[in-house]
Structures are given as C-alpha cells and as structure tokens.
Amino acid sequence: MVSPSPSDARLLNLSTRGLALIDDNVLIPGFVISGTDTKRLLIRAVGPTLETTFDLSGVLPDLRIVLKRWNGSSYEDIASNDNWGANANVTDIIQTAADVYAFGLKDDREAALLLDLPAGQYTAVVDDVNGGSGVGVVELYDADDGSVDARLINISTRGFVGTGSQVMIPGFVVSSEGPKTFLIRVVGPRLAQPPFNLTGVLADPKLELHGRPIGGTDALLFTQDNWSENPDAANTAATTAAVYAFGLEEGSADAAFVVTLQPGIYTVVGSAADGTSTGVALVEVYLVE
C-alpha cells in the first residue's frame, strides 16, 4: 500500500445518529483533542428538530448533555446543559452554528454547549431528562479557524444498535487541505470481554462507509464484516496498535478497516450483519497520524 503525502487536513465536525435508551444504553460519544492550545467546540444533542425538519419519527423528546473529561483515573463532570436556549452564551451558540453551517435548533428541549477545551479525552453522555428513549443526534463542530495547535483526532460512540432508522450512523467531514487516513471500526463481541464486560452486545456487526468527496457524488465506498477476513487485516492490526486503540481478536465478528479519504463528507453505518439482530456496539473513527 502506498501512503498518501502528508496533509494538514482536519476533522471539521463529527456527528452520530443513534438510538438512546436508558441506563447503560444511553448514547455516549467520546472524543479526543490533541495539541497545546484549546479547541473551541460546539456540542449539540438534537431530537425534536429531527422530527420537525427531517421527518424522522421516534426521536428523543427532551435531551441533556453531560460533558466529562478523563482526569487520569476517572471521568469527571465539567459541563452540562438541558435546554440550549438557557445558556448564558446562547447568542454565541446561535452565531457559531451559523458560522459552521449547522442547521438551526427548533426546540428548546434540545441541548448545546460552546466551550474552549484543552487537550484530553472526553465523553458526552446524552440521555432524556425524563428517562425517555428515542433516536437522537450528537454533534461536535470544530468552531475555530484551524490556526491553533489543537485538533480532533477521533470519535467513538457507544449505544444500542437497532434496525432500520435505529442503526448507528456517525458522520464526519475531512477539510479541504488534502487526504487523511482513518481507522474505522464497529465493535460488538469485544465489548463482552474485559475490561468492558458488557451484556447484550451486537453479536455480528457490519460496517458500511458512505462518502461524498469534494466535487463528487454520494456513494457506498466500502463494506466490511469480520475484520480479520479483510486482505488488509495485518495493516488494520498494526494501525490499531499505532493509534493506541484496544485490540480485536483474530477471527472475531467485529468489523474494522483502514482507509485513506479525500476531503469531503462521510458517514459510517453500524448495523447487524444479518439486518435483524440488535445490541450494544461501539462505532469508532480514528485519525491516523
């Protein structure tokens, strides 16, 4: 495999659409910021607007974000929001959303945060204030101009993968400076093992990558089922170690591959290989240095 020439391209935004239930099955995106400066991020949890604007039914009715940062031994709460319009910086949130071409929020029951965050590892736990369940979208928008020494380098979302409109769909944007290489995974069986020890995992996940490079058209770019059956499995395993991701067992039903992508808009669809099974899964997108 020929490596692409290095580029200064960035992950401009990352979003995940998925089914949020209760307890361990809420929607839990995680992300990592690297660099020496702070990164300004607009973080949103959207439900009712998906119904009124995009005709998506069964949405999460009253969303809440709790942002947590890893302190070296545990995750600690650093910010939270229930109704986005109650933020003290709501004017800045509205202007920033317009600046990054995000659709406007139509319902005050949705949640948003606009923060300057230092390098580190974060999770944004999204649930319903009243214990409801439904489909929601969690969004992270890079809200600075790229001149600072800070960037998003991966996102991973754990949640319940259903069928139809309730599969998990992370999306991300590669900026225009050039191609970037990514490790993309949909993990199910590995979550049942230590240190995760989760029950009810998705037994046989499947991964689809869809994309629209700048100047191109929407297309299905890649489908992957059992990661070690991929001809590029050795490179996938080596890249997994290089980005400090936890390893996958050879022969497991988890899905993963490494791909170099041109600037553009991409979505990952995490679902069951048989199209009917459900369960907890982790969908991950790692920027390969």
The structure tokens listed for 93 are 């949130």
pTM assigned to the model: 0.84
Contact criterion met (CB below 8 Å) for 191 and 284? no
Query: Could you tell me the sign of the dihedral formed by the alpha carbons of 104, 67, 259, 8, in that order?
Result: positive
Q: Is the pLDDT reported for residue 5 higher than 70?
A: no
**Is 41 within the bounds of a domain?**
yes
**Is 1 within the bounds of a domain?**
no
Condensed to tens digits (0 to 9), the pLDDT of residues 49-79 reads 999 988 888 899 999 999 999 999 999 999 9
106-129 in b/e form (b: 16+ CB < 10 A) is ebebbbbbbbebebeebbbbbbbe
Contact criterion met (CB below 8 Å) for 185 and 269? no
Asked if 257 and 122 sit in the same domain, the reply is no
Q: Is the pLDDT reported for residue 23 higher than 80?
A: no
Per the structure, the complete domain to which residue 211 belongs is given by 164-289
Asked if 39 and 169 sit in the same domain, the reply is no
Asked if 255 and 274 sit in the same domain, the reply is yes
The structure tokens listed for 160 are 């319940």
The structure tokens listed for 22 are 């209760």
Domain boundary among 161, 188, 217: 161
Asked if 270 and 227 sit in the same domain, the reply is yes
Domain boundary among 93, 126, 161: 161
Compute the average pLDDT of residues 258-281: 94
Q: What total of structural domains would you count in the chain?
A: 2
pLDDT at res. 2:
44
Asked if 19 and 152 sit in the same domain, the reply is yes
Q: Is the pLDDT reported for residue 227 higher than 90?
A: yes
Residue 6 binned pLDDT confidence (cut-offs 50, 70, 90): low
Residue 122 binned pLDDT confidence (cut-offs 50, 70, 90): very high
Question: Of residues 9 and 90, which shows the higher confidence score?
Answer: 90
Compute the average pLDDT of residues 255-269: 94
**Is 2 within the bounds of a domain?**
no
CA distance 270 to 156: 12
Asked if 86 and 141 sit in the same domain, the reply is yes
Asked if 78 and 201 sit in the same domain, the reply is no
Mean pLDDT is lowest, of 141-150, 178-187, 228-237, for 141-150
Asked if 195 and 122 sit in the same domain, the reply is no
CA distance 93 to 107: 14
Asked if 91 and 177 sit in the same domain, the reply is no
Give 182's strand partners. Answer: 259, 287
Asked if 156 and 180 sit in the same domain, the reply is no
**Is 141 within the bounds of a domain?**
yes
Asked if 29 and 122 sit in the same domain, the reply is yes
Q: Measuring CA to CA, which residue among 22, 24, 14, 17 is closest to residue 280?
A: 24
Contact criterion met (CB below 8 Å) for 159 and 105? no
Task: Tell me the CATH number at 61.
Answer: 2.60.120.510
Asked if 47 and 157 sit in the same domain, the reply is yes
Task: Tell me the CATH number at 180.
Answer: 2.60.120
Domain boundary among 161, 192, 216: 161
